[in-house]
Amino acid sequence: MGGGRSETSALTGTGGGRGTATTQNSQRPNACCFCWCCCCSYEDEQSFPRFFLSTKPSLEEIRLWSQSFDKLMRNPAGRNVFREFLRTEYSEENMLFWLACEDLKQEMNKSAIEEKARSIYEDYISILSPKEV
C-alpha cells in the first residue's frame, strides 16, 4: 500500500488542525488524504485533522457518500470531511451558509426566523459581508 496508513489508523488519530502528510515520494504541506486510500501518513498526532476525532465513518457510509452528495451532506461525519476539504480550498463559508439555511428551515418561531434570516443576509449575502458567498 501507499504510505502505510491503514483505514483503521486513519480513523483513530488524535490531535487537531491541518498538518503535513507524507507520501512515499514527497512531502506535501497542508495536504490530507480525504479518500482513505492509504496514500499518506501523518508524522505526528498533533497534525491529524480534527474531523477524525468526533466521528468514525464506516466504509459503507463512505461508499454511500460517493453515490450521492445529499447522502454526504446528511451524514455528520460526511459534512465534517467535506467542511475540512472546503477549508483547504478557502471555501468554508459555503458550508456555513448551507448549515445556516438548514437551521433556518427547521425554525418554527416567527421572531427567530426573522432574526436568523437577517443574520444569514448580513453574514453571507450582503456585499459588505466578510463571508459573502
Would you list the DSSP string of 56-77?
---HHHHHHHHH-HHHHHHSHH
The answer to whether residues 56 and 115 belong to one domain is no
The answer to whether residues 39 and 84 belong to one domain is yes
Is the confidence at residue 70, as pLDDT, over 50? yes
The percent of residues in the chain predicted with pLDDT above 70, rounded, is 59
Full residue range of the structural domain in which residue 63 is found? 7-88
The answer to whether residues 19 and 73 belong to one domain is yes
C-alpha span between 20 and 33 (Å, rounded): 11
Higher pLDDT, 13 or 57: 57
For 19, other C-beta atoms within 10 Å of its C-beta total 20
C-alpha span between 69 and 65 (Å, rounded): 6
pLDDT tier for residue 48 given thresholds of 50, 70 and 90: very low
What strands, in cross-sheet order, belong to the sheet with 27-29? 27-29, 20-22, 41-42
C-alpha torsion sign, points 14, 62, 80, 84:
positive
Residue 1 lies inside a defined structural domain of this protein: no
